Amino acid sequence: MTTTLVTPPEVRPDEAAPRRPRRRRSRLASVGLHATLAVASLISLVPIVWVFLTSLKPRDKWQSSDLKLFDQPSLDNYQQLLTDTHFARWFLNSILVAALTTVIAVGLAATSGYALSRLRFPGHRGFALSLLVTQMFPAAILIVPLYNIMSKLGLLNSYGGLVLAYVTVAVPFCAWMLRGYFGTIPVEIDEAGLMDGLSPFGSFVRLILPLARPGLAVTAFYSFLTAWGEVYYASVFLVGDEKLTLAVGLQQFVSQFKAEWGLMTAAAVLITIPAAIVFLTVQRNLVAGLTAGGTKS
């Protein structure tokens, strides 16, 4: 089996499409645009603020039909959530599963995307097509075959099996996106690394990956969110209160006969903290990674 590096076609400066002159908006149009954006921002913030304020209300206040923003605020809901429930255990379980999913998915997607971008090998087109085909099936359809595979491998009710299920969801999309991003990196960089004595894998690790940080940031963020908020797989593959992840464990707060909205809203506020930390960590690279990976194939 032989593989060859593919050099993308060069585009001459004189062949580039001429730029159209940028039209200037009128002052009235600018005011209307900014006013619309401000209203949209306020509308999107209302549910978040309402959830936070509800988490600070005691039981008799959030059950009341009177709409008040501040009504005897306290941290009783947070104290009860952390001391009288398994929330802390669920939180640690979700962190573990999401972290493992992110590391494994980014590693597999980076190597797969690089191979699809740079190499031409037997089955190249079929492999690339399979990444797209896997995105056509909803997660619910894959539960039964994955359950049978996990059962035969002895991975049911284990975090390893759940991570494996999440990786099967995250890797195809991430590999396809990284394939597009690696295509924006000149192949001459790989060739320069080979001329300097690096192996193909060494060139990939030491030269290409540092340049692909925006694309890696997008795939890491997507992989983390895939595992952090997923419900279907976690509810099927895990059993027992202490084994559950956050997305499944929080369902215990809302049932047919009662709803602990104070605990639910307090948990919702705490759940956003890890996702916000990951977003703030990679936000500088998100736009560049999404645009490059989405337009280059």
Q: Which residue has the tokens 């193909």?
A: 200
C-beta separation of 110 from 293 below 8 A: no
Cα separation, 134 vs 155, in Å, equals 22
Q: Tell me the pLDDT of the chain averaged across its residues.
A: 82
- Mean pLDDT throughout 150-174? 90
pLDDT at position 109, please?
92
> Domains in the chain, start-ordered, CATH in brackets?
27-74 (no CATH), 77-295 (1.10.3720.10)
Give the model's confidence band at 3: pLDDT under 50 very low, under 70 low, under 90 confident, else very high. low
Cα separation, 201 vs 194, in Å, equals 10
Give the model's confidence band at 90: pLDDT under 50 very low, under 70 low, under 90 confident, else very high. very high
* pLDDT tops 60 at residue 89: yes
Q: Which residue has the tokens 């605990």?
A: 263
C-beta separation of 247 from 231 below 8 A: yes
Cα separation, 191 vs 197, in Å, equals 10
pLDDT at position 92, please?
94
Q: Would residue 72 be called left, alpha or beta, if left means φ above 0 and alpha means ψ between -120 and 50 degrees?
A: left
C-beta separation of 167 from 99 below 8 A: no
pLDDT at position 43, please?
92
pLDDT at position 293, please?
47
Cα separation, 91 vs 291, in Å, equals 33
pLDDT at position 294, please?
46
pLDDT at position 104, please?
95
The larger pLDDT score, comparing residue 115 to residue 257, is at 115
Q: Per residue in 216-269, pLDDT tens?
A: 988 998 899 889 988 889 988 888 888 889 988 888 888 777 788 888 889 989
* pLDDT tops 60 at residue 297: no
**pTM of the shown model:** 0.78
- Mean pLDDT throughout 60-71? 65
- Mean pLDDT throughout 149-176? 90
**Which of the residue ranges 2-16, 96-110, 153-167, 213-227 would you say has the lowest mean pLDDT?**
2-16
pLDDT at position 73, please?
79
The larger pLDDT score, comparing residue 10 to residue 200, is at 200
The larger pLDDT score, comparing residue 166 to residue 281, is at 166
* pLDDT tops 70 at residue 12: no
Cα separation, 51 vs 269, in Å, equals 8
The larger pLDDT score, comparing residue 227 to residue 128, is at 227
